[in-house]
Structure 1
Amino acid sequence: MTKNVRVRFAPSPTGPLHIGGVRTALFNYLFAKKHNGTFILRIEDTDQNRYVEGAEQYIIDALNWCNMPFDEGPNKNEKFGPYRQSERKHLYKKYADELIASGNAYYAFDTAEALDFHRKDHEAKGKTFIYNWHNRLKLSNSLSLSAEEVKAKIEAGDDYVIRFKSPQDKTLHLKDIIRGDIKIDTNILDDKVLFKSDGMPTYHLANIVDDHLMEISHVIRGEEWLPSLALHYQLYKAFGWQTPEFAHLPLILKPTGKGKLSKRDGDKLGFPVFPLQWTDPKTNEISRGYKEDGYFPEAMVNFLAFLGWNPGTEQEIFSLNELIEAFDLKKVNKSGARFDPDKTKWFNHHYMQEQSNDGLAELFLPIINEKLNVVQSESEESHLEISRQAQNNNHIDVNYVAMVIGLIKERATFVSDFWALSHFFFRAPTAYDEKASKKAFKDGTKAILEEVITIVNNIEDFTVENLQTEIKGWITNSEIGFGSVMMPLRLALVGALQGPDVFDIIFMVGKAETLKRIENVISTL
């Protein structure tokens, strides 16, 4: 690619960033980095009525969490700044006036009431009202009024908008990297408003002007902007500017494959649709985020990359650098990409296994402390035995926690899964699963466990290997079924027939704690 690649992600700060927006940002980022280009963040806040406090910072935080920091944007390398459209509004009127001077746009003075009348009149006749070549000379605008009338209206302070003058009887030949050649009949296009009566440009004008001034080489955006491509293409031609290359990404579909993925789908099916948790500043409603739900950013980036793009190989796990290397817009699909919540968990499970046990231990420690404190507060007379590694309820050896995680993380998808998989490493069971108890405890089980107590107590070099050798050797020599020993022993240690290897549990909780737990299950059952 010979041209200098400059792409932009241009969200509106109207609330939290949907994962569809994150996917758009990701594809822009990957394309820029693949071609040693520049990834730009531009905040498109021309619609001040929908502006939401905190949304811009949320967008920046989300990009940073996904490890996709922008190269240029608000308060960063402002080579073509400012990067908020509300701070650029002084620029747009000049360009709107240029279009009027060249005959590509016109003033329109139609009131909302007049336009509403025309719409209803058309509906009554079974037609659709479109403001364009077939009726604009019958409406109140600078094409139907004399120059003197137009001047008088402007000087009198009458409200007006500036509309693009869409051509009649032309065929536009457009190109899209993903969708190929597109033909558009200009007769079906309406004369879009470019400049509003409040003195602000619409998205269409501001977007084109900013892309030109910021030297954007490729516009990579969602499919919902495909209907605007004809207008944007014509605006570039009207200004005499070089058109960037366009690529319109496919929609992200509901898990059913029908319709665009929405927040309601996430709420209904129990998964987030935003990268970070969001609290609505007006209603205080909290929306879940992938970060807070326990997803790793690497997992989110990996599964988002596959929503619409396919490398053409069997490989599914890609680091960010590998994605950059493999990414190609020509391998992006035209059809919508179905969102699969189970697949997102599959990716997270994979990246969970790649995390260091020490790092996961730091994430798990607050959960452990919370759980142990809750238990303590439930009953001051509780006789719970905390393992020897828990020095007190507010301090647990992080190295011990890391060792525990090494035994259980293969069965975990989220850090929040750890407690259910490992609670018995941090406190003794206070109850025993009823079904498991009936299965594990038979006539003679008490005598068997008493013998296990003797064996464990006599092991001086307390290692996993020695525990296995002594207990398994005794089982073999005594000709006792392994299940007759291991099931009640596991029940004593865990409270249920689950968990990692019994000998690992015994070693981790220690000799004294193991003996107490066996004695407790004997006296209880």
Structure 2
Amino acid sequence: MQDGTQVVTRIAPSPTGFMHIGTARTALFNWLYARGRGGRFLLRIEDTDRERATPGATEAILRGMTWLGLGWDGEAVSQFARAGRHAEIAHAMLETGDAYKCFSTPDEIAAYRETARAEGRSTNFRSPWRDADPADYPDAPHAIRIRAPREGETVIEDRVQGSVRWKNTDLDDMILLRSDGTPTYMLAVVVDDHDMGVTHVIRGDDHLANAARQSLIYRAMGWPLPVYAHIPLILGPDGKKLSKRHGATGVEEYQKMGYPASGMRNYLARLGWSHGDDEFFTDAQALEWFDLDGINKAPARFDFKKLENLCGQHIASAEDSGILTDLVAYLSAIDADPLTKTQEDGLSRAMYSLKERSKTYGELIEKAHFVLGSRPFLPDGKAAAALDPVSRGILIELTPHLQNASWTRDGLEDAIAAFAGEKDLKLGRIAPPLRAALAGRTVTPSVFDMMLVIGREETLGRIEDATGHSGN
């Protein structure tokens, strides 16, 4: 890459299932690197595997990227749609002698490898057609293979892994174009990255060996190599490859679990990259700080507790209006009933008391039951236990104090403190039944916040519902 060239990165997932959290992390790194430098971030759907690629998986990728807030430039590119261009490059390499026709059949290749394995040799196929005279070519189906070097080394200067070397004797003459005329993934990736102007290839280190083989195509075509940065994979807490046994692995599952996208971006950025000891940071800070030098060589371990902690911080620090927008999307994702206008208004009034210490939107919705539900609030099991006869009696005696209280936080605190002193009670004896009466739940904001949000009339009405006693 030349100095002054605009940075162009890409994410190129295969649409063969859900969007893996590892793919999301790779997308984020590419997005941060490009956006932080005024560059372009592209999306390519690598749908050449026609048996496994599905429209539903493509839609899942688009939804996952959108939810994470990783907007891409231009239209998403279909790799399959560019098959003609890929074949064009294979034939161009054939013309220059950097590739050759191979007429070996699958049975012949399998037999070669079986013999090599039995003799303890490399099973990399050595085609007898590599140096054959074109005059001897049969009129038969053939693949087009690259003419890989047999001597020396291939070196990849990687921004994460450092200088990585392969002996060329270990590189095979990989197929570029199959005998049915379809291009291979290895060819398609290089042609697409070149044609799309990709300057930096940031991807999982399981692709590191591919970089050596793909570099042969770049060099044969006289194309500049991109800057490579192969990032470590994500492991589960037990140090093994992240899988379903560790919990959710698909991006959309995390949305349905109620994690805010901002928290996911923060956590995924820290998963294999660091900026000093900073744990919590905003998008603006991540865009300013992110650099390839901060990526760790060692695999990162997924930690749900850290994820929840960061997500809680992001919810607490978010604008109320932004949380409300996210809640609407969250409820839609879990196929819950949409919010009514009354419920939205209640949430807006209560948001200041809901977003503190809520680690997920599910927790926030649970705490918001006092503004999402309607009278009469039937208590759940735990709340019902707090409304025993003695506790209901306490609420009945408290009612006149609330009727005459100044409806401010200080006024309410003073009124309840005075009542507690008068009855020789601690707040811990008053709050549980009051919470149960106001919300029908035990997980709520403070009783003072709830009373301030719903107002005097509604507060007294709910206490009357819970006690069966009119305060008039």
Place the TM-score, normalised by the shorter chain, in its bin.
0.7 to 0.9
> Residue 473 of structure 1: which of 418, 438, 443 is its match?
418
Higher radius of gyration, 1 or 2 = 1
1:193-232 superposed matches below 5 A:
193-232=175-214
Which residue does 2:81 correspond to in 1?
A: 87
Report the TM-score when normalising by structure 1.
Answer: 0.77
Cα 1:44–1:433 shift into 2, 3 Å: closer
Which residue does 2:115 correspond to in 1?
A: 121
Which residue does 1:170 correspond to in 2?
A: 152
Q: Contact 1:223–1:248 at 8 Å: present in 2 too?
A: yes
Please list the CA deviations of residues 206-255 of structure 1 after superposition, one character each: whole Å capped at 9, or x if unmatched. 22233333333222222121112222222222223322221111111123
How many residue pairs get matched?
461
Q: Contact 1:433–1:495 at 8 Å: present in 2 too?
A: no
Once residues 367 and 39 of structure 1 are traced to their aligned partners in structure 2, the CA distance between those partners, rounded to angstroms, is: 26
Moved more, 232-241 or 471-480: 471-480
Does 1:407 pair with 2:353?
A: yes
Q: CA deviation at 1:497?
A: 5.7
Q: CA deviation at 1:56?
A: 3.5
Once residues 401 and 29 of structure 1 are traced to their aligned partners in structure 2, the CA distance between those partners, rounded to angstroms, is: 33
Cα 1:342–1:126 shift into 2, 3 Å: same
Does 1:504 pair with 2:469?
A: no
Matched residue type, 1:453: T
Once residues 327 and 363 of structure 1 are traced to their aligned partners in structure 2, the CA distance between those partners, rounded to angstroms, is: 26
Once residues 202 and 31 of structure 1 are traced to their aligned partners in structure 2, the CA distance between those partners, rounded to angstroms, is: 28
Once residues 426 and 63 of structure 2 are traced to their aligned partners in structure 1, the CA distance between those partners, rounded to angstroms, is: 58
Identical amino acids, percent of aligned pairs = 32
1:246-257 superposed matches below 5 A:
246-257=228-239
Which residue does 1:78 correspond to in 2?
A: none
Which residue does 2:320 correspond to in 1?
A: 357
Matched residue type, 1:406: Y
Which residue does 2:136 correspond to in 1?
A: 149
Which residue does 1:377 correspond to in 2?
A: none
Q: Contact 1:174–1:183 at 8 Å: present in 2 too?
A: yes
Q: Helix, strand or coil for the counterpart of 1:163?
A: strand
Please list the CA deviations of residues 148-194 of structure 1 after superposition, one character each: whole Å capped at 9, or x if unmatched. 221xx2xx3x2211112222231223311111112211112221111
Q: Contact 1:365–1:398 at 8 Å: present in 2 too?
A: no
1:399-438 superposed matches below 5 A:
399-425=345-371, 426=373, 427-431=375-379, 437=385
Once residues 166 and 7 of structure 1 are traced to their aligned partners in structure 2, the CA distance between those partners, rounded to angstroms, is: 27
> Residue 103 of structure 1: which of 83, 87, 97 is its match?
97
Matched residue type, 2:97: G
Once residues 438 and 242 of structure 1 are traced to their aligned partners in structure 2, the CA distance between those partners, rounded to angstroms, is: 72
Q: CA deviation at 1:451?
A: 2.8
Once residues 48 and 89 of structure 2 are traced to their aligned partners in structure 1, the CA distance between those partners, rounded to angstroms, is: 16
Cα 1:399–1:223 shift into 2, 3 Å: same
1:128-143 superposed matches below 5 A:
128-132=122-126, 136-137=127-128, 141=129, 143=131
Q: Contact 1:357–1:403 at 8 Å: present in 2 too?
A: no
Matched residue type, 1:94: E
Which residue does 1:384 correspond to in 2?
A: none
- Structure 1 residue runs of 5 or longer lacking an equivalent are 75-82, 277-287, 375-392
Cα 1:428–1:357 shift into 2, 3 Å: farther
Q: CA deviation at 1:326?
A: 0.7
> Residue 250 of structure 2: which of 242, 264, 274 is its match?
274
Once residues 397 and 496 of structure 1 are traced to their aligned partners in structure 2, the CA distance between those partners, rounded to angstroms, is: 17
- Structure 2 residue runs of 5 or longer lacking an equivalent are none
Q: Contact 2:383–2:433 at 8 Å: present in 1 too?
A: no
Matched residue type, 2:151: D
Q: Helix, strand or coil for the counterpart of 1:159?
A: coil
Report the TM-score when normalising by structure 2.
Answer: 0.85
Once residues 247 and 8 of structure 1 are traced to their aligned partners in structure 2, the CA distance between those partners, rounded to angstroms, is: 12
Q: CA deviation at 1:509?
A: 4.3
What is the root-mean-square deviation of aligned Cα atoms in Å? 3.4
> Residue 292 of structure 1: which of 256, 260, 270 is its match?
256
Q: Contact 2:316–2:357 at 8 Å: present in 1 too?
A: no
Q: Helix, strand or coil for the counterpart of 1:181?
A: strand
Which residue does 2:287 correspond to in 1?
A: 324
Which residue does 1:386 correspond to in 2?
A: none
